[in-house]
A and B are shown apart, each in its own frame.
Chain A
Amino acid sequence: MTTEETVPSYPFTRDDACPFAPPTAYQRLRDSRPITRVRLYDGREAWMFTRHEDIRAVLAHPAASAETLAEDFPFLNPADRVSKRAQSFQRWDDPRHAERRRKLMPYFTIKRIEEMRPRVRGMIDHYYRQMIDAGPPADLVQQLALAVPSTVACDLLGVDYADHGFFETRFAVRLNRTSTAEQARAANAELVEYVDRVVRSKYGKRNSDLLGRFVNDHVETGEVSHEDAVIDANLLLLAGHETTANMIALGTLALLEHPDQLARIQQDKSLVPQAVEELLRYLTISQSMGVRLAKDDFEVSGCPIRAGDGLIVPVAAANYDDEVFPSPHTLDLSRPEARRHLTFGFGPHGCLGQPLARMELAEVFSTIFDRLPGLRADIPLDRVDFKREAVFYGLRSLPVSWDDEAARRLAEKDRENPSAERSRLTRPAPASPGQPGRPVPPADQQGKGSDERR
């Protein structure tokens, strides 16, 4: 069908023209041969799909397997091979995948997430105050983008935020495409050892945090093994902070680069949830999702797929399919079809934490430009440190400044004379039943037990 020379190597590299857009190679292929063969790093070939419709069809197909222990499963690089072999339920197929996932689903209903909202607001507010008290400049990534979701994930799961430096740096190694298999293995081993200790600390007492309750309800009852619980906890911790962190950093930069769009949400905050969907589409931080293995023969848009074929289904390609998203390169915060993005995946493996991510992102994007008036990047776009080689695209750092006087004045007014609304919004939520109110971790805990970030 295609000759040796025309089989492109995957993953593609991003273009320099627009730092927010996925590789334009997706678009070229979609226009010429939307289902094509690609060559992976280890020399093997796989099918790649670039149309929204086909990507949805593959991700939802029962014959598209996520089981990474299968001999033929396609991997994208040596680190990918190591980290995806960790057998969390994410790497299982239904029905055993669904059975495990269902034990976690009740924690992520819209109602549960809404109950968390005031508490999350309090956490975000804490980091704004820290930034304002210290004054500009600041690194938006470390001081807000990573700190917020990391704090939220620790609070939800029952992990000590004091350890954030430790787990953030290890996850960064695991998620770097250029990490060697050995580096990924070592980082993963340290994470497993750490999470093993966290899970062990939940035994023998009634817990109110997610991991603790999971242990009480499913591990202590003998339903789920300790080893499985550790691997799943590892996944939840990773998924709970790294993804949203990249969206906050990259989303803030994208809004600063599109002042006309930023002005729209500043004028009408009710637009924020829709804006979040468009930012999720436009930025598609996952650079290597999704990958599957055909475990039976099936057909996609007339193309016969054989059992054993590797299937590359890049959600970034789907999110820029102009049949679904006209002018996909335009950031349009009121784009009517924005919700059709596949950033959280599609089918049985769709992101479990998506309601939480949506809530955190809406809270940040509806407040950051008010609390830090005049927020701006201190460096031009071409000097920004993008994570081009990471599984999740984002920024390594972003030096920012804001109007110091105005921010302090606002913060002071807020402290002295909190309106009923404001104080209601920023007070930490009442703890869930049986949970002693846990305060937002103080700033001076940052760095304890942590290594330097890469």
Chain B
Amino acid sequence: MKITVEPAKCVASGMCVLVADSVFDQDDATGTVRLRVDTDPPPEVRENVREAARVCPAMAISISEDVRSA
């Protein structure tokens, strides 16, 4: 799983951090999204990462699923 974020689109809803705080973080100075992990997060948080992408009101999170690591 490869995670990409677009801080320029981020509206700081905080949903990604609430859903998966081991993967998503916010920059203190700008409030915009920042990744803690961008590749293959632990399997138990992957569904939460997908959920974060689904509910992001700015659609600033994209995920590409890799068959090998899925």
Interface segment, one of A198-206, A347-355, A396-404: A347-355
Contacts of B5 in A (CB 8 A): none
Q: Which of B13, B21, B51 is close to A344, meaning CB atoms less than 8 Å apart? A: B13
Are B29 and A106 in contact, CB atoms less than 8 angstroms apart?
A: yes
Closest A residue to B55 by beta carbon equals A339
Contacts of A354 in B (CB 8 A): 13-14
Closest B residue to A336 by beta carbon equals B51
Chain B 27-70, CB within 8 Å of chain A: the 1/0 string? Answer: 01111100000000000000000010011011100000000000
What's the least CB distance linking A272 to chain B, in Å? 13
Tell me if B17 is interfacial: C-beta within 8 Å of chain A: yes
Q: State the CA gap A344–B14 with chains docked (Å).
A: 12
Contacts of A339 in B (CB 8 A): 15, 19, 51, 55
Closest A residue to B59 by beta carbon equals A60
Are B55 and A340 in contact, CB atoms less than 8 angstroms apart?
A: yes
Closest A residue to B24 by beta carbon equals A110
Tell me if A194 is interfacial: C-beta within 8 Å of chain B: no
Tell me if A39 is interfacial: C-beta within 8 Å of chain B: no
Q: Which of A273, A340, A355 is close to B13, meaning CB atoms less than 8 Å apart? A: A355
Asked whether A106 and B31 contact (CB < 8 A) given A60-B59, A350-B11, A350-B58, the answer is yes
Asked whether A108 and B19 contact (CB < 8 A) given A339-B51, A350-B13, A354-B14, the answer is no
Tell me if A111 is interfacial: C-beta within 8 Å of chain B: yes
Tell me if A266 is interfacial: C-beta within 8 Å of chain B: no
Tell me if A358 is interfacial: C-beta within 8 Å of chain B: yes
Are B30 and A110 in contact, CB atoms less than 8 angstroms apart?
A: no
Asked whether A348 and B14 contact (CB < 8 A) given A60-B59, A108-B31, A111-B26, the answer is no
Are B57 and A109 in contact, CB atoms less than 8 angstroms apart?
A: no
Closest A residue to B57 by beta carbon equals A350
Chain A 14-28, CB within 8 Å of chain B: the 1/0 string? Answer: 000000000000000
Q: Which of A107, A340, A348 is close to B11, meaning CB atoms less than 8 Å apart? A: A348
Tell me if A101 is interfacial: C-beta within 8 Å of chain B: yes
Tell me if B12 is interfacial: C-beta within 8 Å of chain A: yes
Contacts of A105 in B (CB 8 A): 11-12, 30-32
Q: Using a CB-CB cutoff of 8 Å, which residues 73-132 of chain A contact chain B? A: 101-102, 105-111, 113
Tell me if A346 is interfacial: C-beta within 8 Å of chain B: yes
Q: State the CA gap A351–B28 with chains docked (Å).
A: 19
Contacts of A273 in B (CB 8 A): 18
Asked whether A106 and B14 contact (CB < 8 A) given A348-B58, A350-B58, the answer is no
Q: Which of A107, A108, A111, A344 is close to B57, meaning CB atoms less than 8 Å apart? A: A344
Contacts of A109 in B (CB 8 A): 12, 14, 17, 26, 28, 31
Are B54 and A340 in contact, CB atoms less than 8 angstroms apart?
A: yes
Contacts of B31 in A (CB 8 A): 102, 105-109
Contacts of B11 in A (CB 8 A): 101, 105, 348, 350, 352
Q: Using a CB-CB cutoff of 8 Å, which residues 170-186 of chain A contact chain B? A: none
What's the least CB distance linking B24 to chain A, in Å? 9
Q: Which of B14, B19, B32 is close to A113, meaning CB atoms less than 8 Å apart? A: B14
Q: State the CA gap A50–B63 with chains docked (Å).
A: 28
Contacts of B26 in A (CB 8 A): 109-111
Contacts of A358 in B (CB 8 A): 14, 18
Tell me if A345 is interfacial: C-beta within 8 Å of chain B: yes
What's the least CB distance linking A278 to chain B, in Å? 14
What's the least CB distance linking B30 to chain A, in Å? 6
Name the residue among A101, A344, A352, A355 with the largest chain B CB count within 10 angstroms. Answer: A355
Q: State the CA gap A29–B46 with chains docked (Å).
A: 37
Are A110 and B18 in contact, CB atoms less than 8 angstroms apart?
A: yes
Q: Using a CB-CB cutoff of 8 Å, which residues 314-357 of chain A contact chain B? A: 339-340, 344-348, 350-352, 354-355
Are B17 and A106 in contact, CB atoms less than 8 angstroms apart?
A: no
Q: State the CA gap A208–B12 with chains docked (Å).
A: 21
A-B contact pairs, 6 of them (CB 8 A): A102-B30, A105-B12, A105-B30, A106-B29, A346-B57, A350-B57
